[in-house]
């Protein structure tokens, strides 16, 4: 699936979180409550929409904004640096890549802005920005301190910082000090995201969003508007059935997303989305699935929201510390 598909925002969130945890047993599993009912949730109103700038979906109220995610990463970076210093190393987390200033959901339904389509095709403005990531060459000892033993498996990892402190570090030692199980990356992740066993899984809201999106994609109202969009695309001479997988269906390679052919196709795509009110229908249907999950998981979501506030407070104190 192309990066600008409806799953881009979810995949980005997962990638950010796992990268921030330095691949330290970042789990995508969480108890997302009851499975969806076979019946489709009611949609009370379908707005006429053609843009997604500033768009908010119901579950966003329980998730970190882009700015908050940046603060969390900075705080986690401080924790990693402090841990690495215990072993005599200096380390700083690489900066995050450029992301849309239009909001977290700017590309949730693919390319929808006519001006952007005409300029960038199926690529995105931030894709044209030079990468700010500079890989750090780590010594074997630094790798061990950062990631822990290379043969660790997820079941071997502590699930909370209190558990990690109770059990002590791993068998590996650097300068006479035990390396945390999973390394400094895991320790920093646990201190920020799971200090105690009652912490809500860091992927909980992400998983609910994915579950809602999966249900919405199979919804009869989504399939109906997809069919109308496909008919519109056919009138422009293009064969495609899935707006969220359009580049694959049109045979546009990843290295040609801003090519003249891609720009022409993207302009037609955006025009068809507007003609059939795809954004409005997608938004209404996906919101309905998210609201149903919110009703079912209200208690855990409220706890997740509180714990997010606690994390942000901790991150702020870490960033401001001298």
- Summarize the confidence of residues 141-166 as an average pLDDT: 94
| Rounded distance between C-alpha atoms, residue 130 and residue 295, angstroms | 42
Structure-model confidence comparison of residues 127 and 192, the more confident one? 192
- Are the C-beta atoms of 286 and 238 separated by less than 8 Å? no
| Rounded distance between C-alpha atoms, residue 45 and residue 320, angstroms | 45
At residue 240, does pLDDT exceed 90? yes
CA triplet 9, 14, 20: central angle to 5 degrees? 125
Residue of 315, 286, 278 whose CA lies nearest to 211: 286
Query: pLDDT band at residue 12, thresholds of 50, 70 and 90?
Result: very low
H helix and E strand count, the chain: 12, 2
At residue 33, does pLDDT exceed 70? no
- Are the C-beta atoms of 257 and 242 separated by less than 8 Å? no
């Amino acid at each position: 699936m192309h990066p600008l598909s409806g799953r881009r925002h979810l995949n980005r969130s997962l990638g950010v979180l796992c990268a921030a945890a330095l691949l330290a047993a970042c789990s995508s599993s969480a108890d997302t409550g009851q499975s969806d009912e076979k019946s489709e949730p009611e949609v009370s109103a379908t707005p006429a929409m053609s843009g997604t700038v500033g768009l908010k979906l119901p579950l966003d109220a329980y998730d970190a904004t882009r700015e908050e995610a940046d603060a969390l990463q900075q705080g986690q970076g401080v924790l990693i640096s402090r841990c690495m210093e215990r072993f005599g190393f200096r380390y700083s987390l690489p900066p995050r890549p450029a992301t849309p200033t239009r909001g977290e959901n700017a590309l949730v339904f693919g390319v929808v802005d006519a001006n952007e389509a005409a300029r960038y095709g199926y690529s995105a403005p931030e894709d044209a920005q030079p990468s700010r990531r500079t890989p750090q060459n780590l010594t074997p000892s630094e790798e061990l301190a950062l990631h822990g033993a290379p043969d660790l498996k997820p079941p071997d990892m502590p699930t909370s910082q209190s558990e990690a402190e109770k059990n002590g570090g791993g068998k590996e030692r650097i300068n006479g000090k035990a390396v945390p199980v999973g390394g400094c990356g895991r320790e920093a992740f646990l201190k920020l995201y799971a200090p105690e066993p009652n912490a809500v899984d860091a992927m909980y809201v992400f998983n609910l969003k994915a579950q809602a999106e999966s249900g919405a994609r199979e919804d009869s109202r989504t399939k109906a508007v997809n069919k109308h969009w496909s008919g519109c695309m056919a009138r422009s001479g293009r064969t495609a059935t899935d707006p969220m997988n359009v580049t694959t269906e049109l045979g546009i390679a990843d290295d040609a997303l801003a090519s003249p052919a891609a720009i022409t196709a993207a302009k037609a795509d955006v025009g068809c989305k507007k003609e059939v009110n795809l954004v409005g229908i997608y938004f209404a249907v996906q919101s309905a699935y998210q609201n149903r999950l919110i009703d079912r998981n209200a208690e855990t979501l409220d706890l997740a929201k509180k714990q997010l506030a606690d994390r942000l407070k901790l991150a702020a104190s870490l960033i401001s510390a001298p």
